[in-house]
Structures are given as structure tokens and as C-alpha cells.
Amino acid sequence: MKIILNTLTKTIVRSFYKEFALFFLIGLYVCFGLLKSSDHIFLNTYIVSSGWLIGFYFLVWTVYNLLIINFLIRFLRKKENIFLYQSFLANKGILYASFSIVQLYLFAPALVYAAFVASIAINLGLYSIVFSISAFLFLSVVLPVFIYRNAIAKPDIGLCASSFLTLHLRFKKPYFSFFFFHLLESEWLKLLVSKGLSALLLLGLVQILQTDNADIRPLMIVVLMGFLPNFTLIGSYHSFENVNLIWFRNLPFHLAKKWLTALATFAIVLLPELFLLYRYAWVALPWYVPLLGYFFGVGLLTLYYCGLYLKIAADERFSNLIFIAAIFCFLAILFSINVLLIIAVVLALGLVTFFKTYYGYEYLVKVE
């Protein structure tokens, strides 16, 4: 059993979390970035107390389970996973047990939250709710196992089962979305780590620098330092453009359009940080200040991206340049230079650099 379970875990479970990294990331931001723990307790107390509202959770968990089932059937049909059909030859009990554990791994996010909801129900003495949650979860784990076993026995069963997950193939993708698909497919770990670090830095800095007065400067310093981990994603964007899409250089793309596309991409990349800024920003500051901070962050990322097209980007002089730019930004914030002016200067500097360097730049891979 250990061998079958190991193989299934390494293939199915790993691929599942890899494919849905962004889905979980957004879920984490929405559930734990926008809502505080006290909000969760309040919300779930209301839901379990009302009784019938728990049906909403059942619906969400069912949709999530359908997503898992669809993924698994699609996964088994891939050429490189054909060898998994041989697991059908294993003892029936072992196969069922292995798939049950795999399903537990895949369903774990729902299980963890369900346990939290159940604990609230226990505290309130609502044991019928606890029982219904337990029964629902039991069925959610057990029933798909029969579907998986059937899919292993009859390889053709999944032929039309995964249509909604391949739905994106039917729609024309805009240019700016190419990078996001690339992130999800090839750099999901980098995305997760950088976003996680950025969120931690931001929240930590907010705690240290938060004041009661309406001073904009601490928030701008939070942005300057807290958005730093996103620079790795800009590096990814740059290499994606110059490795995966190198032939795009033959296309008649106006540089201004290219620059604007990069700007829009970075604005989307930083949306989670904007949510965090609004959620945890200083109450004394006007509503538009987090938005200014966000645009400042987008400007910084764009400037860095444009800087990567400099000929010195591959050597240590570039690090010095970044350090100097960061010091200038820091000083500008400290001495209360108008934030709009800082953003304008940062964007203009990036634009000029981009126009001057783009066509003269060559991406070279260092040979060790």
C-alpha cells in the first residue's frame, strides 16, 4: 500500500495543489486577509445558529469536491499518467484505502474549515449541526473514491468529464493574461512564496508603523518595503517575455502599448496588497491614501521592470542603482514630497528607460 499511496500522492496530490495554487491563494486572501478571526467566529456563529444556512457550506464543499473529481479524471487521462491505470491490478482494499487517503489530502482545506465550523457548533451545543457536518464530510470523502476506482477500471469514463476545466481553451486570451497562465503553470511556488512574504511583511510593518495621526509617510514606507517580494515576480515577467515570448519581438508592438501592458499586469499582481492596505490601513487616513500607496507600488515595480532592460542589469552595478533609487524614494517620502509627484517621476523614469533600452537589449543566459 505504501508504494501505491506514495505514487498517487506524488503525482495526483502534488499536481492538484500546483494547478490550483492561485485559487487557494485568492481563497486565503479573501478568507484570512479580508476577514479577521473574530469575523470568522461571528459569521459562523450566525450560520450554525440559523440551521439551514449551513446548506451554503454544503454547496461550497460539493462544488469543491466536483472540482477535485474533475481534476482527477482529467489527470488520469494525460499521456504521462497512463501508468497509473496499473494500480487497478492492486488489491481492492488497498486501492480503496489509497484513494481515500488521496481524497483526504485533496479535500483537506474544506475539512480544516469544516472542523472549525463544527467546533463553533459544539460550543453552542448544536449537536445536530455537528452530526450533519460529520456525515456530509464522510460522504464527501468516501463517495468520490468509488468514482476514482471506476475511472481507473474504465479509462474512457473521463472523456467528457473535464470539459468545464478546459473551458478557458474556448476563449480568446488577451495578451496580458499570458503571463498569469505562465505563473500558474510554471512558477506557482514563486507566486505563493512572494505573495505570502509580501503579506507578512506588509502586516508586520503596519503593526510597527501604525499611528493615530493622519500622516501619509508611514503607509508609504510600508509600501516601499512591504511590496519588495513582488520584485521576484517582475524578474519572472522579464524572463518570460525574453525567453518564452522571444519571437514576439518580431511583432509590430508599439513600445507604449507594451509598457502599458506591463503596468496593467503589475497592477493586477498587486491587487492582493491593495486589499490588505485597505483592510489594515490607518483609520485616520482618507480613503484614497491606500490607493495612492498601491499606485506607488505599481510604479516601483514598473521602474524595476524597465531597469531590467538596462545593459548593466546582469552585473552588480544594477544592485547599486536599485539601492540608490530606493534611498531617493525613502528620502522623498521622509521629506513629504507630494506622493503624486513621486509616482509621476517613478513612472516617467521607467518609461524613458524602457523606450531607450528595449530594442538594444539582449537576454543572455549565464552558462555555469
Partner 1 sequence: MLTLTNFRKEYAGFLAIEIPKLHFEKGIYWIKGANGSGKSTLFKSIAGLQPYAGSIVLNGQIDQMKSPVAYRKLVNYAEAEPLYPSYLTGNDLLMFVAEMKNASPEQVTELVQVFEIESFIKNATGSYSSGMLKKLSLVLGFLGNPDLIILDEPLITLDLVATEKIAILIQKYATNGVGFLISSHQSKEMDSLAVKAQYLVENQTIKLL
CA 241/CA 251 separation, integer angstroms: 13
At residue 224, what is the residue type? L
Contact 206, 280 (CB under 8 A): yes
At residue 66, what is the residue type? L
Any idea which residue has 479524471 for its cell?
A: 73
Q: Does 182 bind partner 1 (CB under 8 A)?
A: yes
List 1, 35, 189, 255, residue binding partner 1 (CB under 8 A): 255
List 253, 284, 331, 336, residue binding partner 1 (CB under 8 A): 253
Q: Which residues have CB under 8 Å from 115's CB, separation 6+?
A: none
CB nearer partner 1, residue 78 or residue 154: 78
Contact 262, 309 (CB under 8 A): no
- Least CB distance to partner 1 at residue 22 (A): 13
Count Cβ atoms within 10 A of the Cβ of residue 136 and give its class: 0-12 exposed, 13-18 middle, 19 or more buried.
middle
Residues 310-329 that bind partner 1 (CB under 8 A): none
Maximum alpha-carbon separation in the chain: 73
- Least CB distance to partner 1 at residue 193 (A): 21
List 251, 288, 315, 316, residue binding partner 1 (CB under 8 A): 251
- Least CB distance to partner 1 at residue 85 (A): 19
Q: Does 254 bind partner 1 (CB under 8 A)?
A: yes
Q: Does 172 bind partner 1 (CB under 8 A)?
A: yes
- Helices 255-269 & 289-307, crossing angle to 10 degrees? 130
- Least CB distance to partner 1 at residue 135 (A): 39
Q: Which residues have CB under 8 Å from 322's CB, separation 6+?
A: 304, 307
CB nearer partner 1, residue 17 or residue 355: 355
List 63, 160, 169, 365, residue binding partner 1 (CB under 8 A): 169
Q: Segment contacting partner 1 (CB under 8 A): 56-64, 103-111, 177-185, 188-196?
A: 177-185
Q: Segment contacting partner 1 (CB under 8 A): 99-107, 145-153, 156-164, 166-174?
A: 166-174
CB nearer partner 1, residue 184 or residue 209: 184
CA 289/CA 304 separation, integer angstroms: 23
CA 219/CA 333 separation, integer angstroms: 10
List 52, 247, 287, 288, residue binding partner 1 (CB under 8 A): 247
Q: Does 92 bind partner 1 (CB under 8 A)?
A: no
CA 171/CA 36 separation, integer angstroms: 37
Q: Does 2 bind partner 1 (CB under 8 A)?
A: no
Q: Using alpha carbons, select from 113, 111, 108, 120 the residue that is nearest to residue 41.
A: 120
Please state, in angstroms and as integers, the Cα–Cα distance from residue 271 to each residue in 26, 31, 169, 197, following that order. Answer: 10, 15, 25, 15
DSSP state of 282: -
CB nearer partner 1, residue 149 or residue 258: 258
List 6, 150, 244, 338, residue binding partner 1 (CB under 8 A): 244
Q: Segment contacting partner 1 (CB under 8 A): 67-75, 114-122, 242-250, 295-303?
A: 242-250
Any idea which residue has 500546483 for its cell?
A: 18
- Least CB distance to partner 1 at residue 169 (A): 5
List 136, 175, 176, 278, residue binding partner 1 (CB under 8 A): 175
- Least CB distance to partner 1 at residue 8 (A): 23
Count Cβ atoms within 10 A of the Cβ of residue 124 and give its class: 0-12 exposed, 13-18 middle, 19 or more buried.
middle
CB nearer partner 1, residue 2 or residue 170: 170
CB nearer partner 1, residue 98 or residue 162: 162
Residues lying near partner 1 in the complex (CB under 8 A) are found at 169-170, 172-173, 175, 178, 181-182, 185, 244-247, 249-255, 359-362, 364
